Amino acid sequence: MASSVPPVVTRWTRFRRNARVYFSKKLFSGRYDYREVWLRLSRTLAGRADDASLPDRTVRALGAIIGSPRGELWLTSGGQPAVYEGRGAWGMQRPEEVFTAEHPLISFLEKSHWVLDTNEYASDPRRYAFAFDGGDPIEPSIVVPLVHEDGLIGVVRLDRPDGLGDLSFEDHDLLKTAGQQAAIFLVHEMSQEQLAHTRQFEAFSKLTAFLMHDLKNMIAQQDLVVNNAKRFKHRPEFVDDAIRTMEASVQRMKRVLERLQEDTGAERSTLIDVPGLLGDICLTCSDRRPQPRMSRIDSEVWVEMDRDRLAMAITHAIRNAQDATPADGEIRVTLEAESGFALIGISDTGKGMEPAFVRERLFKPFDSTKGARGMGIGAYQIRETLRMAHGDIKVRSQPDRGTILQMKIPLATAKKV
């Protein structure tokens, strides 16, 4: 604001003011019931039965200390450069004015952490580094900094109530400390909001990665059909296989679109005939060598979970085994019912993995040994699918000797009639 020439403040005036504060602290008892003030502040900030936002409650809580009927609050989101936006108010509209870190008021509060009284400012602007210079004259106010870990996260401006005299050292100390307490509440709420946003982005990223992984597999199947069409398109059996592959891809894409339109976190549990499912998957995966062979398959094994997710997990496991095994190698698929669990085994005679890799990296998302060809989420997705059904996965592997993977899924409590 435009400033007038301030009155001369002598050294004797400053000495008397400082002496008055010193002896007041030493000789006079406080005028606040700090227990009552702090309980009221905590109740208002907690706001368990209050629909007002925390920034609004902060203005009300600080205003109640000095009897201010209204005020407003600015907060920074923590970006660089810092910008302080109107986020709360009590008894008035939220402010539209925006402050930057270079504003004289913000700069002064950031350095001093003082409670600012416009009455004191009027008598000695130099004491407050001309914090209101450059703006319009303001109405009588008390300005409270919101400080957290020595940084200014916000500012509260309170209307100066009628009848309030000069602020004492006690008023300054109490408002400053209350502002610090309010800052803790505000920082906690902002952290919770940031955490919620981060989790939403993580869920979206995970869904996107899983969809890309499925699309990559479907494209690989269709690419294989296209590449072999030039050589085998005149063979009826190739045409039949190509149609089955394209039909399976179309059905999978339809299911992906259905999931995107529904709640992506929802599970559609059904009763699954595991031997029948394994037979269908092995037939689908027989388009590549080595072809998976079923052996030691127990009959009448049922589990209850999302069928598409289980089929996808098993398919991923078999495809990974085919990628790691030469065309003249072997891939075996087994199924046993034991101790209340369905045990699905997939073994190969491929290149295998080091035990340290299995222990430390195999189930780490986005960590792939396939370079740009791999997403690094196949094993992670298999494990997460099984764990969502209260199952799990175990992997044993040795370099140049192959890998044995065992999926463990609880048996269904009731079989299909």
- Please check the confidence at residue 3 and state whether its pLDDT lies above 60: no
What is the model's pLDDT at position 1?
34
| Positive/negative CA dihedral, 179, 184, 185, 186 | positive
**Measured between alpha carbons, how far is 72 from 53 in angstroms, rounded to an integer?**
13
Mean pLDDT, range 318-335, rounded to an integer: 92
| Positive/negative CA dihedral, 164, 165, 170, 175 | positive
Q: What Cα–Cα distance (Å) separates residue 223 from each residue in 215, 216, 283, 322?
A: 12, 10, 18, 16
- Please check the confidence at residue 339 and state whether its pLDDT lies above 70: yes
Q: pLDDT per residue over 115-125, tens digit each?
A: 999 988 888 88
3-state secondary structure 40-53: HHHHHHHCCCCCCC
Mean pLDDT, range 242-258, rounded to an integer: 74
What is the model's pLDDT at position 376?
46
Higher pLDDT, 85 or 262: 85
Q: pLDDT per residue over 31-65, tens digit each?
A: 788 889 899 999 999 886 567 889 999 999 999 99
What is the model's pLDDT at position 6?
43
Mean pLDDT, range 22-31, rounded to an integer: 53
- Please check the confidence at residue 81 and state whether its pLDDT lies above 70: yes
Question: Looking at residue 142, what DSSP letter applies?
Answer: E
Residue 155's beta-bridge partner residues?
74, 145
Q: pLDDT per residue over 360-390, tens digit each?
A: 778 776 555 554 344 345 687 888 889 888 8
Q: What is the pTM of this model?
A: 0.50
| Structural contact between residues 90 and 60, judged by C-beta atoms closer than 8 angstroms | yes
**Measured between alpha carbons, how far is 293 from 331 in angstroms, rounded to an integer?**
6
Tokens of 111: 């350095």
Structural domains of the chain ordered from first start? 11-195 (3.30.450.40), 269-417 (3.30.565.10)
3-state secondary structure 338-399: ECCEEEEEEEECCCCCCHHHHHHCCCCCCCCCCHHHCCCCHHHHHHHHHHHCCCEEEEEEEC
Residue 59's beta-bridge partner residues?
none
What is the model's pLDDT at position 269?
80
Buried b (16+ CB within 10 A) or exposed e, 121-130: beeebebbeb
Q: pLDDT per residue over 182-228, tens digit each?
A: 999 999 988 887 777 667 666 666 666 666 666 776 777 777 778 88
